[in-house]
Amino acid sequence: MLNAKTRWIASAFLAAGLACLSACGGGGGSSSSGSPIVANASLSGSAVDAPIANAQITITSGAPLHVAGALSIGSIVAHSSGNFTVSIALPTATLPIFANALDPHNTTVVLSSYLGQSSALLAAGTLSSNNLPNLDISPVTTAALAVYAQLNGGSYSSLTPSSYATVLRTYRSDILAIAAAIKAVGDQLCQPANPPSSTSNLAARIAAGANLSSGSPTTLQTAAAQLGGNCPAVLASLPQMIEADEKFGPELELGDVIDAGVQSLPAGSYQLQGLIAETGMRSSQTSTTASFVAASVFTDSSVTVGSAGQIISADGKVSGLVMGNLLTLSVQNGSQSYSLRGKVGALPAALSTGGQAYAIRSAGSNSATQVLSTFQAVLAPQGAMPVWNGLAAPTNPNSQHGVACAAGTFPLRLDAFGKQIGGSSLAECITPNAQGWSMVAASTTLADFDFDRLPSRSTSSNNTATLTVTVPSLTAPVWREVSATNAPFVISATNASYSRLGVATSGNTYYVMGAHSIVFASTSANNLLSIHSNAFTQIFESGKHSADKGESQGDDH
């Protein structure tokens, strides 16, 4: 396991004058005269992932540790058990606050996490990783900050929860690739030819060398080139492992829960439809495991959300709790049980009728085998139905993600992550219809392979893989609802074939409305095709925002 990912449980002792502070920390700025006003806070928690003995924990304001502008405002050495308690003085101005972790047993491991604005953290009162996932200092948070810095000239002065959430949404595949490199080094999963001085410097180098969602080479290819040695073979499967980890997964979605200040899921009766996909990997290994369960659609027609966020189902197969945007969930799927943690957000209102629908993006494991798994789902009011063609297609989609599509279609670019198919990239144009999608080839693309009916079609000089769907001649692949009655929010294309370096694999593909990835499921593995930000991946902190079509729909760069 990674040597320096830190879980915090924080309890703030607020000064009486702080009662007027808002819990929303979206604004920027800082104190402009003299020393900033501060208020004492006490933070206690533990360094986890096999407890991290003597981990060095440092809290900084202004920037992460070892970056220009960083001000250390508190530090502590964790106990042999990994537990620690630290008293710090947080500035009451709206400065960005960061948690940083260094492992004294492996000085290469330097990780950082953005916790939000200082005033909001103080006003929130009690903090824990159960309501602020970024209190887990991890490869994901370190990668996200490296991407943000690369996009903003190395400066963190304008960092806010809103801008951080935009980075997560728009550059998710890039963050996963950089996080994979950090994990590979931190866990000593490979022997790089070019060992980095620190994981934070490695993240910055990869972000600087990659094209960040806009072309070739992909960020994963850049990471492989930076590390060299035998690391490229290891990196291909790690992004999927990270996405399916219950600690890392929530850090990829929506940004800072505390600063959202919104209970995202109203009380009421819902139907739950989704897809459970086991990765075939455990968190401590990169090889496939002996135990593997094929991807399967899960439905529950009667799920209730209580006024305090409790989640139960009439048949007892679903239980959990939602706090703000953070969700914990237990799912019984046949003989298999899953423990999951993730985020929930409102889908654009145009994508459903009969009430506001919500996307669930969660990660966890099979309770019996501990195999990492993802559960992508939609929670919709009773009687609600999807409108797959509810969003207006871009009028000028030609410059998005290196994909050129005709007007009226959506550009779709994905990175292939997983033990079986990891390491490639693809691009297509999708046309939504009443029951799902159809796909056509992009006219030009910087991707490596196509996802259409033409398996021999080459789109680049490095065409090392193909992913095709077998359909009648002259008919574009069609993704249809799995069940118009029981699972219309899940679409699938059967008879898919993936071929790379002359090795072909057959299976089915699935997509859950609002998910950030397509699942390619074969008889030996479930693989994730991670979607670069697209209109269908856009979710909102609460339903009141989802009808605003003036927003970017996720294409922010």
- Residue 205 CA, distance from chain mean position: 21
Assign 19 a pLDDT band (cuts: 50, 70, 90).
very low
Percent of the chain at pLDDT > 70 equals: 72
Contact predicate 501/510, CB 8 Å? no
Higher pLDDT, 355 or 126: 355
Output the pTM of the full model: 0.86
Q: Which of 218, 378, 238 is nearest to 298 (CA)?
A: 378
Average pLDDT over residues 51-65: 82
Give the whole-angstrom CA distance, residue 60 versus residue 69. Answer: 10
- E strand or H helix that includes residue 279: none
Higher pLDDT, 360 or 216: 360
CA neighbours closer than 13 Å in the CB half-sphere of residue 398: 5
Q: Which amino acid is at 340?
A: L
In the predicted structure, residue 468 carries a pLDDT above the cut 60 = no
Percent of the chain at pLDDT > 90 equals: 39
The third-level CATH classification (topology) of the domain covering 263-388 is Lipocalin (2.40.128)
The DSSP letter of residue 65 is: T
The pLDDT, as a whole number, for residue 555 is 34
- State the average pLDDT for the chain: 78
In the predicted structure, residue 466 carries a pLDDT above the cut 80 = no
Contact predicate 16/152, CB 8 Å? no
Point out the least confidently predicted range of 27-36, 86-95, 116-125, 142-151: 27-36
Listed by start position, the domains of the chain span 1-134, 138-235, 263-388, 403-537
In the predicted structure, residue 152 carries a pLDDT above the cut 70 = yes
The DSSP letter of residue 69 is: T
The pLDDT, as a whole number, for residue 366 is 95
Q: Which residue has the tokens 């090392």?
A: 464
Which backbone phi and psi does 240 adopt, to 5 degrees?
-65, -40
The pLDDT, as a whole number, for residue 125 is 61
The pLDDT, as a whole number, for residue 207 is 95
Higher pLDDT, 415 or 499: 415
- E strand or H helix that includes residue 292: none
In the predicted structure, residue 204 carries a pLDDT above the cut 60 = yes
Point out the least confidently predicted range of 62-71, 154-163, 242-251, 392-401: 392-401
Give the whole-angstrom CA distance, residue 430 versus residue 297. Answer: 23
Assign 179 a pLDDT band (cuts: 50, 70, 90).
very high
CA neighbours closer than 13 Å in the CB half-sphere of residue 329: 35
Assign 184 a pLDDT band (cuts: 50, 70, 90).
very high
Please, which residues have CB within 8 angstroms of residue 491's CB and are 6 or more apart in sequence? 388, 435, 436, 437, 479, 480, 481, 482, 510, 511, 513
Q: Which amino acid is at 358?
A: Y
Q: 495-546, pLDDT tens digit by residue?
A: 777 766 666 777 888 999 999 999 988 888 898 888 888 888 888 877 655 5
Higher pLDDT, 450 or 313: 313
The third-level CATH classification (topology) of the domain covering 1-134 is Immunoglobulin-like (2.60.40)
In the predicted structure, residue 549 carries a pLDDT above the cut 50 = no
In the predicted structure, residue 419 carries a pLDDT above the cut 70 = yes
The pLDDT, as a whole number, for residue 147 is 97
Which residue(s) pair with 99 in the sheet? 59, 113
Point out the least confidently predicted range of 55-59, 326-330, 348-352, 369-373: 55-59
Higher pLDDT, 216 or 318: 318
The pLDDT, as a whole number, for residue 390 is 94
- The pair of structure tokens assigned to 365 is 């494991």
Average pLDDT over residues 58-67: 93
Contact predicate 266/358, CB 8 Å? no
For 330-398, the three-class secondary structure string (H helix, E strand, C coil) is EEEECCEEEEEEEEEEECCHHHEECCCCEEEEEEEEECCCCCEEEEEEEEEECCCEECCCCCCCCCCCC
Indicate the angle between helix axes 219-227 and 199-209, nearest 10 degrees.
130
The pLDDT, as a whole number, for residue 43 is 56
